[in-house]
A and B are shown apart, each in its own frame.
Chain A
Amino acid sequence: MRRAAKEIVRVEGLVKDFRVGLGVRRKRVLEGISFCVREGEIFGFVGPNGAGKTTTLKVLMGLIRPSDGTARILGHDVRETEFRRHVGFLPENPYFYEFLTGREILGFYARLSGLAGRRIPERVEMLLDWVGLSHAADARLRTYSKGMLQRIGIAQALVHDPSVVFLDEPMSGLDPIGRKEIRDLILRLHGEGKTVFMNTHILSDVELVCDRVAIIVRGAIRYEGCIAEFLDAGELATDLVFGRLPASLAVSLEERFGPLRGQGGRLELRVPDKAVHEVLGLALSADAQVVSVTPHRASLESIFLSAVEGSAEAVAGKAS
């Protein structure tokens, strides 16, 4: 099990209001959110579009000023700048100076990050190789594909060897091969002991790479914890498949747990986890044939959807 120790990111009661129209009205985008990211973990910040993920990340990157609350990275207030030499950032759909080549842009970011001049060429070549762009190092960025821009984006985020990396929707818009490449890069960063904060709404990626997640819906955190705990928190069920089932038992089971589904002469029933022993006992004593017992874990997606729907219901409840 991956162990995490000290807090790398700490957000407390973060509020962000944006001015709307002529600036008289205000719209609250973040409703006092709190969460933390620990050292060495891959943290997934998950939520539907418009939930406040990018706003939160922009506050952390100093691009948006918070209206209230605090946000700290490596113990520093996010409004400070010097600590950013330990922080890397890949924005969503990154844009770079198109008139520069891949090699030039990495050199530019390396100098901005305060890397010593003599170390820059070596570091740039290493990163170009690392993200598989050595062959395009001298091509202008305007000739790069989306996947190549994403990879040069990751390279610029790592050019100064930061200890914590923030990625905003790193897999969005990429084809399956591109997504796998970025996923592998993230796991490689994790292997090097870096802390990774990842904004995303692609849940399969979260399940594959993240240690912990926070779910944000309509500017409020609905859940924060380990992926495993998160999945366990969902209602657990078990699928029982019978080859032979006496009619009387079938009727009583249907009354209690809902309809049996028939498939190829077999009958399938989903029962709550806590009722599995009882149903199996009944089946065996009635001389039923049990073909399979499959524990059914709630998927991240179903829990995510219930969190979103729960939020929508809460909003509707408030409105009525």
Chain B
Amino acid sequence: MASARIVTLAANTMREAIRSRVLYTLLFFAVVLIGTSVLLATLTYVEGHRILQSVGFAAIRLFGAAIAIFVGIGLIHREVERRTIYTILSKPISRAEFLLGKYLGLVATIWLQVAIMGLAFAAVSLLTGAPLNVQIGIALGLAAVELALVVAFATVFSSFTTPLLAALFTTGIYAIGHLSRDLRDFGANSESESIRLAAQILYRILPDLESFNFTTQALHALPIPSNEAVLALVYGIGYSALLLLLGVVVFERRDFK
């Protein structure tokens, strides 16, 4: 069954990541940064808890993105380069199943990392008496959806180019994704109709990664409207699915020389 094969590939991708040292190095630095936020918080007399949690939250999001990019960019390329793909595709597995299995395996790995970093964040908060609320949980969940989208970009780039180029493209998309709302606003304020239209089109095509950012609500215990959270979830899943579809189309045409 296709689903069983996808699960087998995903589980193996997870096992590979878990047994690699790069991941632990990144995770170690993230947890250390979350821990040192306690020190940063002591430097101020006001809003110490907020500084602590801001640093912790930023560490989770940034290191999550770093893991997604650095592991994701070699995801497919490494299989081709090391020729491990030869024996896998000679089994009853379609290329689409292969791509999906690898993608889901990496997403599961990254979500596990986010969960570990989230636990470290919660532990530091509890130890220092900083407040924990449900918004923090929702915001972390949506940050995880954002990372799944970043992994989808890395997977697609990895399916047809080298890790270096894939890293450049994915990092570029990550940066642009956090600025695309500014682009839209810039276009909206323009007097030129063509600039307004171009900015609108670009905003529609490029990912809007800020739509997953609920850090302010989480740290200030402000309500997160359920429609916004659901919309972000649907947007993340839909965009990732479209990207993977594009990746499959490209991957199907490739020759493994």
Interface residues of A, Cβ cutoff 8 Å to B: 18, 58, 61-65, 81-85, 87-91, 93-97, 99-100, 108-109, 111-114, 153, 156-157, 160, 166
B54 at interface, CB cutoff 8 A: no
Interface centre among A81, A89, A95 (most CB of B within 10 A): A81
Query: Which chain A residue has the least Cβ–Cβ distance from B18?
Result: A99
Q: A61-B90, A87-B90 are in contact. Are A96 and B5 (CB under 8 A)?
A: no
Partner among A112, A157, A160 whose Cβ is within 8 Å of the Cβ of B88 = A112
Residues in chain A near residue B1, CB distance under 8 A: 114
Interface residues of B, Cβ cutoff 8 Å to A: 1, 4-5, 8-9, 12, 15-16, 19-20, 82-94, 253, 255-257
Partner among A87, A88, A89 whose Cβ is within 8 Å of the Cβ of B86 = A89
Residues in chain B near residue A65, CB distance under 8 A: 253, 255
Residues in chain B near residue A166, CB distance under 8 A: 90
Residues in chain A near residue B93, CB distance under 8 A: 81, 84, 112
Partner among B5, B86, B92, B94 whose Cβ is within 8 Å of the Cβ of A63 = B86
Contact A63 B9 (CB under 8 A): no
A-B contact count (CB 8 A): 86
Contact A83 B92 (CB under 8 A): yes
Min C-beta distance of A185 to chain B, whole Å: 17
Min C-beta distance of B146 to chain A, whole Å: 29
Partner among B9, B16, B20, B85 whose Cβ is within 8 Å of the Cβ of A112 = B9
Q: A108-B12, A114-B5 are in contact. Are A99 and B20 (CB under 8 A)?
A: yes
Residues in chain A near residue B94, CB distance under 8 A: 81
Q: A95-B82, A112-B93, A114-B5 are in contact. Are A156 and B20 (CB under 8 A)?
A: no
Q: A18-B257, A58-B256, A64-B255 are in contact. Are A114 and B92 (CB under 8 A)?
A: yes
Contact A97 B89 (CB under 8 A): no
Q: A64-B256, A82-B92, A94-B87 are in contact. Are A111 and B8 (CB under 8 A)?
A: yes
Q: What are 28 pairs between A and B in contact, CB < 8 Å?
A: A18-B255, A58-B86, A61-B89, A63-B86, A63-B90, A64-B256, A65-B253, A81-B92, A84-B90, A85-B92, A88-B90, A89-B86, A90-B87, A91-B83, A94-B87, A95-B82, A95-B86, A96-B87, A97-B16, A97-B84, A99-B16, A109-B91, A112-B9, A113-B92, A114-B1, A114-B4, A160-B91, A166-B90
